[in-house]
Structure 1
């Protein structure tokens, strides 16, 4: 067996030195380059590994505290959508998701009232926005996975509920500017993964998504004229706007000519009639991975907008890739709970 792999190892070494996207042996760890250090103890592991230019493979012998590969048989579905939904007989409009099309989308409730959105990043941990949690305690919040129609209990795959036991807001969150607007919700028990409930991939640190067309899915009001939350899960595709352009556009709004877009925010949208409106706060902005239109990673978290669906007025999102170093240590806290697995990085 070792003779068979020898030429392959040499070939892979040549690819590694070329700087191009490369494949790694399944016994290696494909991680961000800055994480391939002996002092680093938290890694992503994939049995089939493809490294980007920003990643490198670490030999097992150089890794201290290596975490065993996830054993859950559904890990292969991580970040994978159900493009046709799980109920092909259900008719939907263009602005609606198909049933369980995006299985990482979470619905947050306070006393049976819809609060906002979130994303499942490991079975016992939800990523959301800090601004929707102000003045709330963990006991106030229930998280629902596998939901699609808030008005119906007749779902093909019944949703599951979990109680929040801990809220962790980013310590530098600023409500006025929306800087560092993210929070983690620790659940009383992990969700059971399946076709209708799955985790979303997280991006490598500092990855950008400029000019990509990405998607937001959740529940909310699609215009300022709406008075009730739309019960069917909504979706909208939005172009990601470069930060300098977004700041220029937002300075033309009531925010004023001196507005400074925080470095922790990114922008998307600004197309008339197609934008994220009220009560989508905390929902994920997710983008398809290169070469696979049905597999996604989370780029942002809905933060705030000025107006709704106005041309040249983008919505702001917390830039998730800027917070990998903040998220990773807290992920360790839930890995000891049966059913939790590592979120993969692209």
Structure 2
């Protein structure tokens, strides 16, 4: 029987994707940062990760590959993922930080092996000073499940810590493959989250197909996918899982495939890695005007690097 990971009573047992896998190789990579002071463009990872001799297993990211991926902790306990959209603003899911105080949250950036800051891969932390939830967020259905975290200070922008681009157009109607990253569980029944940042390659699933597939699960035949949500995944063995919630689903930019833009936020799902059971994501493009308005407000700062 399927188990549902989601944000509320109706959709119980929220699964935020993830898994811990073994890795081999020396954590130190020569020239991991070619120029720490160089300012990359949004959606651009470190070019050094492609040249490293670090051995990682299938499904693991390399250090600096997705530098916008951040971890959100509450009272020093990991709660979910997020994405850096400006040097001092994190985009995440509302359910992740629901009923939590801003001053109790910390965002860490530059993580690879979570919580283990090696000499070559140190992470940095910033305190959250303000939370903004979407006013129409529904804990029961997962609708409008997004929030912005405004940080006390800006993260320095390098290839190790960088922002993700917001979508320039609606991408969720296209047949394409995108990537999610996070430190969530590998399997739904796992007791622990992943230690190494995961890399999850999934296809976008058409809305009508996704809704039909979810009606075959314990969601029931009357299930209706909330507006402004979309589906990705449904391939056996490839999925986000418990602990990956709040993280970004990002796709190569059409005009520059080496850079990425965020089209979704990991929202909820029914189990993990089951065939024909896609995961559910918040459609970032549908909320872009809301996000940008808050980014350009007095609390946020916007650096246009598109």
TM-score bin, normalised by smaller chain: 0.7 to 0.9
Q: Give the Cα–Cα distance (whole angstroms) in 2 for the partners of residues 312 and 124 of structure 1.
A: 38
1:279-320 CA distance string (max 9 Å, x none): 100000000011533210001000000011110000000000
Select which of 164, 180, 200 maps to 2:144: 180
The answer to whether 1:284 aligns with 2:248 is yes
| SS of residue in 1 equivalent to 2:49 | coil
- Counterpart in 1 of 2:30? none
Higher mean C-alpha deviation, range 224-233 or range 294-303: 224-233
CA-based RMSD of the aligned residues comes to 1.9
| SS of residue in 2 equivalent to 1:304 | strand
- Counterpart in 2 of 1:258? 222
| SS of residue in 2 equivalent to 1:333 | coil
Matches within 5 A, 1:87-102: 88-102=52-66
- Counterpart in 2 of 1:129? 93
- Counterpart in 2 of 1:112? 76
1:197-216 CA distance string (max 9 Å, x none): 11110013544353210000
The answer to whether 1:203 aligns with 2:167 is yes
Q: Give the Cα–Cα distance (whole angstroms) in 1 for the partners of residues 39 and 48 of structure 2.
A: 20
Greater RCO structure (CA 8 Å; 6+ sep): 2
- Counterpart in 2 of 1:48? none
- Residues 71 and 107 in structure 2, CA contact (< 8 A), matched pair in contact too: yes
1:276: Cα distance to partner? 0.6
Matches within 5 A, 1:230-249: 230-249=194-213
1:176-219 CA distance string (max 9 Å, x none): 11011100000001111011011110013544353210000110
- Counterpart in 2 of 1:160? 124
- Residues 82 and 294 in structure 1, CA contact (< 8 A), matched pair in contact too: no
- Residues 150 and 299 in structure 2, CA contact (< 8 A), matched pair in contact too: no
- Residues 230 and 283 in structure 2, CA contact (< 8 A), matched pair in contact too: yes
Q: Give the Cα–Cα distance (whole angstroms) in 1 for the partners of residues 286 and 300 of structure 2.
A: 26
1:262: Cα distance to partner? 1.0
Task: Output the TM-score relative to the length of structure 2.
Answer: 0.83
Q: Give the Cα–Cα distance (whole angstroms) in 2 for the partners of residues 226 and 289 of structure 1.
A: 34
The answer to whether 1:342 aligns with 2:290 is no
| SS of residue in 2 equivalent to 1:184 | strand
Q: Give the Cα–Cα distance (whole angstroms) in 2 for the partners of residues 218 and 200 of structure 1.
A: 15
- Residues 205 and 324 in structure 1, CA contact (< 8 A), matched pair in contact too: no
Gaps of 5+ in 1: 1-72
Q: Give the Cα–Cα distance (whole angstroms) in 2 for the partners of residues 243 and 150 of structure 1.
A: 34
Select which of 286, 291, 298 maps to 1:322: 286
Q: Give the Cα–Cα distance (whole angstroms) in 2 for the partners of residues 218 and 269 of structure 1.
A: 15
- Residues 40 and 158 in structure 2, CA contact (< 8 A), matched pair in contact too: no
Give 1 or 2 for the bigger CA radius of gyration. Answer: 1
Which has the larger share of helix?
Answer: 1
Gaps of 5+ in 2: 1-36
